[in-house]
Every structure is written in structure tokens, then in C-alpha cells.
Structure 1
Amino acid sequence: MSVPPALLDTLLVALMLFMTYVLTSEGAWGAALMFFNVLFGGLIAFNFYEPLAELIDSTGIGWSFSDTLAMMLIFCASVLLLRLATESLAPAMVRFPNPVYHLTRLVFSFGTTVVTFAIILLAFHAAPVHKNVFGYINYNTKPPFGMGIDHGWLGFFQYTTGDIFARYGSGVRDPYSTYGKTGNQFMQVHLFDPKGRWLIDKQELRPYGEGAILEEGGSGGGGLPAGGGEGAPAVDAAPGTTNSRPIGGSVAPAAPFGTPN
């Protein structure tokens, strides 16, 4: 299915604005809690979706959409559980001055919407569909209208694995020493998508459509910023990293960022 880029971007923006409007009914405190529920739900989903997808594949069912299924299942379950927990533990309503109330609920509602749609777009990237999702979205596209919310989420998740929730140990997972102590392999951080090839690799693995994503030896290959940016020298993806698993494939599961190679 091919959708005109402008129409798809407009539809995405319209859906995002509608979801933002709906979430503002939660009020300032409810919108803030929902934002953090979705944020941590996304982090949990991206940390554990590959092991779950491998488990689904090991059953022999042959679901080629196991990556997408695992990602969305963990994300939805995490958000639901976090929502139930925050509703039980946190106050139902916190009073704010009127200007702060309206600004806060708008900002957090929009933030929740952006994170949610970024994860939905990335679930499509991991699905066994056409190399250009909806005939338009590929590794270098930044929907909607150049915002690149999917690229932004990948960059944020890489940052969390390299800094906020970093784990150090033997086994080099940070080839460019972006985090940790340069030159000391025993202090290298276990980094998600260390060569910034997640979007490129997922596009190459999608089964429909033909043609190489990148010309061999050309620019735009590995060593990209998280989310598949441009202009860096080509580098092969390291086996065993979180971006090397085939869509619906059955290779040895890649370790989550918190476990050593």
C-alpha cells in the first residue's frame, strides 16, 4: 500500500493532535504520570522485545511478525501495569495554579503522544512488510514532516543504555567509545545499537521490495548516529548486537543491554 508522503504525515499529525487532546482530559498530574508510564514502558519494551521474539520463534509457530508482536505486547503490558500502579499509589488529583495546570497537561500529553507514536512507527519498521513502509517510510525518512520521532526514540534509548542505565563489563559493545573509558575494554558500556544501524538493518531484512539499501562502500552505512543518520563511513554491524536479528528469524538471541556478551 502506497500513501502519498504529505497525506501520511498529515494523518500522523492529526492522530497525534487528537491523542494529545484526549490525554489533556487527564489533567496536569494525570498527564504527567501517563507520560512517565509510557516512557518507562517503551524502555522496558526495547530492552526485552528481542528475547521474547526469540521465544516466540522457538515455538515453531513461524510467526514472521514476532518482533512487532513482542515489542507491542511488552509495551502495552508495561504501560497497563504502570498505569495501575500509579493510580493506586499516587494522588488522584493535585491542584496547580491555572496557567501551570493548562501548560503542564498540554506538554505532558504531547510528550506521551510523541513517545507512543514513535514506538508504533518502530514496530512497523520491525514488521515483515515492504522495505518502504506504506510505500514511503524508510531508514532515512523522518516522519512526520521531518520531526523524526522514530529516530529520536532510538537515539534516546541508546543514550539510556550508554549513560543513565549503563552497565559496564568485559566485551566491547561501544566501538566508538562514546561512553565509558576510552581504550579500556573492561570499562566499555553495553550499548544498544552501537553502530547506529537499527533502522537500516530492519529495512534490509523486510522481505518485500528489491534493491540494496546502501551502495557497498558508500557513505551512510555503519557508524551512524542512533536512528540511522547520514554521512558516516560504512562499517559492518557486529554480530550479536541488538540490531542483527532477522525479522522472524531464528538465530541466537541478542542479549539485552544490561547483560554481557
Structure 2
Amino acid sequence: MTQPPIVPETARIGRTALLVTDLDEMIEFYRTVVGLSVLARSGSAATLGAGGTPLLELTADETAAPRDPAQAGLFHTAFRVPSRTALGAAVERVRDRGQLDGASDHFVSEAVYLSDPEGNGIEIYTDRPRDEWPRTDDGTIDIGTVPLDLEAVVGESDGGETVPPETTVGHVHLEVTDIEAARTFYVDTLGLRLQTASPSALFVAAGDYHHHLGLNAWNRRSQPAGGRGLAWFEWLVADEEALATVRQRLGDAGVTCHQINGGFEISDPDGISIRFRVG
């Protein structure tokens, strides 16, 4: 009998966490441009989210070194909004208060791209209906890239100043040093489903989503993760029993788990921290 994947098919991405230099500037950006709400704030940290759900943790450390251009780490955090009207409003906010870096139709979704003041990549996107996602002969999902009709999206804007409460972190896209090592860890060990692959990029998912993680080696990173930027991202599982099972099976697979408040943490081959908790 085939074992189920270590990361359950019902798992989803929870929060991402960034190590930043200027906390006030970053809060203002994610609040006014991305449209998140401030849920908690202390002198050196803040939690932002939507509908009361935390999606982004910011921690200030002025002594943290900048991320070296050779280091693995974050390509972008992708905030998924529930409608084209919300995406149109996001485009209007970005045009008014930030800078749009790009816009694409990925067949499964429509997306726009930007960067925060400290250079962390951001995607804001909305999914097309699942029954419209193109599939290959083996049943995996065909993720592509063609130009997005941005003005049509803006034409449906509801003018919202904040993202809707249903907004989530739909996926996280990472820069890795070795695409085959990433495949071994995320697909062979964690059991994530490979949906789309090229010689230098993988898009993988828990269950049948188009992707929860993007993994690319486009910029030829050669050093482990470190410095400012991504501190960790997390997977959410259904309950304590599922969490305990994931931890046990990771240990059985030789993956070291470290206890943290509310769950545990592991590292990928590039030293990127991944957390698991119930959510």
C-alpha cells in the first residue's frame, strides 16, 4: 500500500515572515499598497493580515545583513484575493502608491507583481475557476505565462482600500541553488505533487491546487539562505493528530524537527525555514 504524502493533501500555506530593517515603512507599504490590515504591533514586530487572519509577520533587526545576491531565499510571497474586482483594486493601489513590476495571465490565475521597499517580491493574484485550469495528459496542471489584459482587470475594480477578508497567502515562490535537490526534498521527501516543471523551475502542491510552492534557479543562486528577507513560511494542517503524524514521518525520513511555539520547524536544503502548525 502506498504511503500518503508527508505533507497532507489538505495542507495549505499560512503565514510568511520577513526580517526587515525599517518596520514603520514596511507596515505602511503592506497596509496602503498591498491592502493588509495591522492586527498587532510592538516596538520591533508587527502582524498583518485580512479578515482577522494573520498572513504576514514582520520583525525588525537593523543589524541584520542584507541578503547577498548569491543567496537562496524569497522570490515572492503571493497573496490570493478572491475576485477579479479585488485584483483590479489592488492594481489601482499599486499604480497610485507603488510601482507595478509586471502582470501575467498564468492560465490558472491572473497576477500582478511588485516589490516592497526592501526588495522582497510580491504577487497579488486571483484564481480562475478550477474547472478552467488546463491539464496535461497525466492530469497535472498546465501553468503558463502570457500577457494579462490589465485594463480589463482594472475595469472591474471595486475601489477597495483593503483586500477582502477571504484573502490568503496562496503560495510562496522560492529561489533555490539546486533544482534537483529541491525536487528531492519537496517532491520525493515531503510528497508534494509536481504540477509543472522546466529545467530550472518546479511548481508543486499539496493535493490538487495548481501550486503552493514555486521553486526556481533562474538567477543562479549559489549560497544558502540568510540575511534580511524571508525568515520562514508555514504549512497549516487540519488538527493536532495530523501535526503529530507529519512530525513523526519527517523524523522517520531523517528530517530534523525543532519544537517552536504552536508547532515545529524544519529546514530545506538551502537553509530556508519551514514551519508546521494547526490552522
Q: Fold conserved (TM > 0.5)?
A: no
| Larger Rg belongs to | 1
Which is richer in helix? 1
TM-score (norm 1): 0.24
TM-score (norm 2): 0.23
Which is richer in strand? 2
